[in-house]
Structure 1
Amino acid sequence: MQDKLKNLPYYRWLIFIVTVLGTFMAVLDSSIVNVALPLIAVSFGVELTNVQWVVTAYLLVISSLLPLFGKIGDMYGRRKIYLLGFAIFTMGSLLCSLSSTIWYLVVSRVLQGAGASMLMSNAPAIISVTFPGTERGRVLGMNGTVVALAAMAGPSLGGILVGLFNWKWIFYINLPIGVLAYLLGYYILPFEKKYASGTFDFKGAVLFALGMTGLLVVLSEGHEWGWNSLITVGIGVISLLLLSSFIWFEGRIKEPMIDLSLFKRWPFLAGNASGLLSFMAMFSNNMLMPFYLHSVLSLTPTQIGLAITPFPLLMAIAAPLSGYLSERVSPVLLTSSGLGILMLGLFYLADLDAYSTIWHVAVGQGIMGIGNGMFQSPNNNSVLSSVPVSKVGLASGISALMRNVGMVSGTAVAVSVFESKRQQVLAETLILNQDAYMGAFLSAYHLALMIGACFAGIGFIISLSRKGHVHLRVVK
């Protein structure tokens, strides 16, 4: 079967479609549940601080395991690990749809996240091998744009599915797609003739996974435990020590899990930092917007999905145009302008109140979609063009890691800020009635989105600092 496919002139694009499908599904499930969170909370009788783990656990597992499965794929075969990832992801989706308690669902999301990390860590590497030369950076840039599009299309698709059926359908839909994608991958993805030699950096993998997990748990639960509490400070200090040890150790071994020398290149470091901040900014809105639309505007899940749709729709238009323009004008101009527009969109949404309409929300989502579409593709190309061709796959994996850390951190910070501010306002209120609760919600929502806008603003400054450093071709 593969021998026949290899003779087709578009065979490599079939490989691209299979890998993009896996990446799209893995990233889509990081945000598709957001619209359903209010209903899941009611269904299981839990609060926002508990139900946020349906999102956080998934992203945390991916962030912790991405480098590990990327290295395993290099050593034992990317095709093998990629297909295994689809099988585990699909099984995790099935278990999510069968969940009877909130923690059953969270554990199932952990399994689903493990499969997703296999998909996301190996897809860029497969693309890198398939597309040669300068074309590689452009195709990986397209892959990065698909990732961002998937992250923001999730709430829209989730709202429609929940409105038409129920929240379990956001996991049911993965089952036929997962089986089909596995079969396509089995017949289309090429067998590797030889794998990477060397030893696996087990110590580095453990240090990174434990340190990253601890840090993200502190960000997620700090407001509940108390930022000055012994458990928060203890886990935070231990996590920073573990990550510091990881950085020290990686710089002293022959075959590290992550090549930290890439961060000495300013365009690579600045591009990843601004990319991380862009996802932190987006997910501050991505996490809380469904709760605002549900609790304040009393919209149905279908209406929520439609209100959020302008983001992925306008991003899908802006992204390819921005990618095309990035070959003719400075990528820095596009990336910085995109982050500036994203920041303005968040400031606009931070001004919503109980009397806003669905159209006000749609305008804000559209502004953010244009900004993010302008930013993602030129930024991906800028990052990948700043490293040698031999390290493009590794660079893409690091960018995926930064992206997922941004998603987790943005969600954690948004929920922490929201809950802290809401509790503070309620504690200062003499009469607790419906208006008081509404006022506390809006005050907390506004502050969380303002913080998200600040993330985009910092990203804007970092992105602008690349001026004069960016190369438009992949370096040799």
Structure 2
Amino acid sequence: MQEKLQQLPYYKWMIFGVISIGIFISTMTSSIVNVALPPITIALQTDIPTAQWVVTAYLLAITSLLPLVGRLGDVLGCRRIYGYGFIGFAAGSLLCGMANSIGMLIGFRVMQAISAATLMANGMAILTAGFPQSERGKVLGVIGTIVALGSLSGPGLGGLLVDNFGWHAIFYVNIPIGMLGYAGVRLILPVDQNLQQEKIDYLGAALFTIGMVSFLLALSYGTRWGWLSISTLACLGFAMVMFVLFIWQEKRIAYPMLELSIFKNWEFSTGNLAGMLSFMAMFSNTLLLPYFLHDILTFTPAKTGLIMSAFPLVMAVVAPLSGSLSDKVGIGPLATTGMGILALGLFLTARLQVNTELWLIMASQAIMGLGNGLFQSPNNNSIMSAVQPRQLGVAGGINALARNFGMVCGTAVAVSILEYRRAASLSGFNQPTQVQQIAAFMDGYQAALLVGAAFAIIGALVSFQRSGK
């Protein structure tokens, strides 16, 4: 049957459909859980810091394992690993929904994250291999739309499910989607061929994973622990030791988990650096804007969600267009322009005041969506097109790693700046008034977003180096 399907003129778009399911389910799950944390905290009789590990553990596991699962795809077959991802995701979702303690839920979320990492890393590799060079920009642009729709639908769908069926439903909804995806893998995706007869560097994978988890813990909790505290410094020091051992391990063996020479590829390295900076910039807004809208402007959650939807909605429209355009005019101009517009949107968001009109708030988010839509598709195209076919799996893993690492770093930097500036503004008051507290928040909020805009400007400069590509 598969041989007949491969003869169809639209077969490559059937491949796209299967990959879209994996991308949609992984991005939706990343955003759907937040809305369920309050009822989970009550139902499992825990506290907010512990419940937050339902989100933190998921992010740590994904970020730490992306290079490994990408490498597994190169050696064992991207199709096989991608199929395992759907099975594991459905099983992990079932177990999450059945969890009756916070410890069980966090553990099963890690299982879910491992499977999500296989989908993120290998989906891009399969998609890149399935389309000719001349069409990659277009298809990666449409993938940008899928990412936006997944992120956009998560909170809204999660709210409906929690209100009508309880928090368990946000996990159970993944099961039929996961099984549909697995059926698509078996029926549609081409069988893996010309696999590399190489060993898996499990020691290197372990060193990288341990080092990354330790480093991300320091970034995530540095503000709470104190950046110069023993806990933070110990995590950072231990992470550095693990990374040094990882590099030593990769240089000495014949088949490393990560070919360090891949970073000598200028287009690949600068593309990932620019991508990381874009997510560092975006997540200063993603984290802090809801607090501004809810705590300062006293908007309802529904109104806040409506305002923030302007970003992914504009991105969903622009990303396919920029992807197609990048096939014709090149990567550099679009990526540079996109990052510049993203910086402008962040600057405008930083200038918002307590009396700002609603249309201006939504306009700032729309401008950010325009900039991100112009940037992401061409940038992803340049990254995946810069490597050899045998490196597509690990390249997709590193691309996703840069994205998740940017999220964590951007969040950590934004929180640190907000808390530092807010504490400095209130240092002279024993019992600050509400007006003084608002002024202190706005001081930290504006500083954090301006730093986010600076990240975007640096990303634009990095992208400008590829202006002729």
With the length of structure 2 as denominator, give the TM-score of the two structures: 0.88
Q: Could you tell which deviates more after superposition, 168-177 or 56-65?
A: 168-177
Q: Distance in 1 between matches of 2:100 and 2:451?
A: 35
User: Is 1:380 aligned to residue 391 of structure 2?
Assistant: no
| Residue aligning to 1:216 | 216
C-alpha distance in 1 between matches for 2:369 and 2:3 = 42
Q: Shift in Å at residue 126 of structure 1?
A: 2.3
One-letter identity of the residue aligned with 2:180 = L
State the partner residue of 2:148: 149
List aligned pairs for 1:217-256, cutoff 5 A: 217-256=217-256
In structure 1, what is the Cα distance between the partners aligned to 2:330 and 2:72?
37
Paired amino acid for 1:123: G
Distance, in Å, in 2 between the alignment partners of 1:301 and 1:26 is 23
State the match for 1:134 in structure 2: 133
For the residues of structure 2 that align with 1:59 and 1:251, how far apart are their CA atoms?
Answer: 28
Query: What is aligned with 1:61?
Result: 61
Matched, 1:162 2:159: yes
**Residue 25 of structure 1 aligns to a residue in which SS?**
helix
Match of 2:191 in 1: 191
Q: Which residue pairs with 1:302 in the alignment?
A: 302
Alpha-carbon distance change, 51 to 455 in structure 1, aligned in 2, over 3 angstroms:
farther
Structure 2 residue 338 is the aligned partner of structure 1 residue 341 = no
Tell me if structure 1 keeps the 8 A contact 2:414–2:449. Answer: yes
Q: In the superposition, relative to structure 1, how do residues 179 and 330 fare at CA in structure 2: closer, same or farther (>3 Å)?
A: closer
Mean Cα displacement is larger for which, 220-229 or 77-86?
Answer: 77-86
Q: 1:42 to 1:274 in 2, by over 3 A?
A: farther
2:368 maps to amino acid: M
* Aligned positions, number: 465
**Alpha-carbon contact 1:34-1:287 (below 8 Å) kept:** no
C-alpha displacement of 1:380:
1.8
Structure-2 change in CA distance of 1:179 and 1:389 (3 Å): closer
- CA shift, 1:36, in A, is 5.8
Displacement after TM superposition at 1:45 (Å): 7.3
Q: Summarize the alignment of residues 69-468 of structure 1 with structure 2, pairs less than 5 Å apart.
A: 69-97=69-97, 105-131=105-131, 133-135=132-134, 137-138=136-137, 141-142=140-141, 145-146=144-145, 148-149=147-148, 154-155=151-152, 157-159=154-156, 161-162=158-159, 165-166=162-163, 168=167, 170-192=170-192, 195-468=195-468
Looking at structure 2, the residues matched to 231 and 440 of structure 1 have their Cα atoms a distance apart, in angstroms, of 28
Q: 2:5–2:188: 8 Å Cα contact kept in structure 1?
A: yes
Task: Report percent identity of matched pairs.
Answer: 45
Alpha-carbon shift at residue 326 of structure 1 (Å):
2.1
The 1-side partners of 2:424 and 2:55 are apart by 25
Distance of aligned partners of 1:221 and 1:371 in 2 relative to their CA distance in 1, 3 Å threshold: same
Contact residue 164 and residue 302 of structure 1 kept, 8 A: no
Tell me, which stretches of 5 or more residues in structure 2 are unaligned? none
Residues 382 and 188 (structure 1), Cα distance of their counterparts in 2 relative to 1, 3 Å cut: closer
Contact between 1:204 and 1:257, CA under 8 Å: does it hold in 2? Answer: yes
Task: Give the Cα–Cα distance (whole angstroms) in 1 for the partners of residues 185 and 345 of structure 2.
Answer: 39
Residues 172-216 of structure 1 deviation map (CA, whole Å, 9 limit, x = unaligned) = 432332232233333323333564311111121011111111111
Contact 2:336 2:463 in 1 (8 A): yes
SS of match in other structure, 2:303: helix
| 8 Å contact kept, 2:138–2:325 | no
Change (3 A) 1:365 1:32: farther
Query: Does 138-147 or 426-435 show the bigger shift?
Result: 138-147
Q: AA paired with 2:230?
A: L
Tell me if structure 1 keeps the 8 A contact 2:141–2:378.
no
Q: What SS does structure 2 have at the residue aligned with 1:326?
A: helix
> Could you say what secondary structure the match of 1:328 adopts?
helix
Instruction: State the distance in 2 between where 1:369 and 1:402 align.
Output: 19
Which amino acid in structure 1 is aligned with residue 269 of structure 2?
L
Shift of 1:3: 4.3
Distance 1:354 1:97 in 2: 41
Tell me how far 1:105 sits from its aligned partner. 4.5
- SS of equivalent residue, structure 1 residue 251: helix
Tell me the distance in 2 between the aligned counterparts of 1:330 and 1:78. 28
CA shift, 1:73, in A, is 2.8
Structure 1 pair 442–51 and aligned structure 2 pair: CA distance change class (3 A): farther
Unmatched segments (≥5 aa) in structure 1: 471-476
Asked if the contact 1:343/1:453 (under 8 Å) is kept, the reply is: yes
Output the CA distance in 2 between the equivalents of 1:424 and 1:231: 24
Go from structure 1 to structure 2 and tell me whether the alpha carbon gap of 1:381 and 1:301 turns closer, same or farther (over 3 Å shift).
same
Partner Cα distance (2:249, 2:190) in 1: 35
Q: 1: CA distance between counterparts of 2:85 and 2:462?
A: 35
Separation in 1, partners of 2:2, 2:258: 33
CA deviation profile, 1:73-94 (whole Å, cap 9, x unmatched): 3333333322221122233334
Question: Could you tell me whether the CA contact under 8 Å between 1:35 and 1:301 is conserved in 2?
Answer: no
Residues 33-67 of structure 1 show CA distances to partners (whole Å, capped at 9, x for unaligned) of: 456667777887745x6665443322221111111
Moved more, 330-339 or 384-393: 384-393
Q: Name the CA shift for 1:108/1:164 in 2 (closer, same or farther; >3 Å).
A: closer
Q: Write the distance in 2 (CA, Å) between the matches of 1:259 and 1:453.
A: 33
Give the secondary structure class of the aligned counterpart of 1:327: helix
TM-score by length of 1: 0.87
- 1:149-169 residue CA offsets vs partner (Å, 9 max, x unmatched): 35xx52564146426853835
- How far, CA to CA, are the matches of 2:372 and 2:34 in structure 1? 19
Q: Report the Cα offset of residue 369 of structure 1.
A: 0.3
AA in 2 matched with 1:88: G
The one-character-per-residue Cα deviations of 1:5-59 (angstroms, maximum 9, x if unpaired) are 3343322321221112102221332334456667777887745x66654433222
Q: Check conservation: 1:144, 1:380, Cα contact below 8 A.
A: no
State how far apart, in whole Å, the 2-side matches of 1:435 and 1:104 are: 43
